[in-house]
Copies of this chain bind each other. A is one copy, B any other.
Amino acid sequence: MKAICKTKTGPGAEYIETDVPFINKDELLIKIHHASICGSDVPIYGWTGWAPKRIKTPMVFGHELCGEVVEIGQLAKGFAKGDFVSIESHIFCGLCYQCRNDQRHVCVNVRIIGIDCPGGFAEFAAAPARCAWKHTDNSLKQIGSIMEPFGNAVYATLVEDITAKSVLVSGCGPQGLFAAAIAKAGGAKLVIGLETSPFRQKLAKKMGADFVLDPRDKDILDRIKRITRPSDGMDAVLEMSGNPQAIELALKAARYGGRFTAFGIPGKKIKVDYSNEIVFKGLTVRGIVGREIFKTWYKMESILKSRAVDPKPVITHVFKFKHFRKAFEVMSSKNKNCGKIVLVP
């Protein structure tokens, strides 16, 4: 089969011919319908940040994937050939303390498909049946690979009740764009997006943000406070960028007694005004990784099926696998003139 593979350490990847994956007894073989690029695929491709420490080459990457079940391990119950599935990328063990306490998304033995084992930028991929989500609605096929990141945003946004609350989305990349739409669908009274890229600012408006502001504006905090009077700050802040300055601003923008979702991932340790912004503010900070398995999946299916959110405007580019270099170029461009990028075989 054809696959996009990190054939060796260092920047870049190859589009190669390789074997169709062998499946274990508890696994499914999936004929990939499409896959999409996550922000965390960029360090893998570029061989920067955490990637050299974790990725073992050769590795077919890509962890946002969907497709048709074409082969079924003998212990993989609940699926039939022809089923269309999206994949939960966190392969949880099911046996650790976290897994047995309904926190499979922070399984201490987690392996991530496309990072720790072969992934979805390929014609075929193997995945455990326990990580497969069977679609019952054909209309979601076209956004099948989007379920993984969309679920991430659903969990980040709805981890605490958002209805009738003011919500700040710091960073309007694909996850921030999803989060803005999810917050609106959940009945947020007001969504403010913070974003520097004009392209993404426009998308944020389209996805439902009531205000989209530039975080570099000098009086940005004053504006946020004026807009949110009388709470004098945001009820809920979703920090989706991972940019240290953005995190600093986002903490300041939260109201006293508010809530803050820590989702974006800074590349190194950051300075935090812990005393003033967390302790004295009585802030609740929720670190969010992955999605609740499968609580979040049910929620997101509801949101998508009921058309409360249409994620399609966030998909700005579709490339063939073989043009993956172009895709990573767009993804890494300075002006960020893209949302989510999809790859098809």
Contacts and interface: CB of A to CB of B under 8 A. Distances in A.
Interface of A: 75, 77-78, 95-98, 100-103, 105-108, 158, 161-165, 185-187, 189-190, 230-232, 242, 247, 255-257, 262-275, 277-290, 294-295, 297-300, 302-303, 305-306, 308
B257 A308 contact: no
Contact of A295 (B95, B102, B162, B287): B102
Given A163-B161, A265-B275, A272-B274, A285 B287 contact: yes
Given A230-B96, A270-B271, A279-B288, A108 B163 contact: no
A328 B79 CA distance: 46
Nearest to A309: B187
A274 B270 contact: yes
Contacts of A264: 279
A282 B272 contact: no
A104 to B, nearest CB: 9
Contacts of A306: 189-190
Nearest to A273: B269
Contacts of A298: 97, 100-101, 164
A282 B288 contact: yes
Contacts of A297: 100
B294 A287 contact: no
Contact of A282 (B78, B103, B158): B103
Contacts of A186: 163-164, 186-187
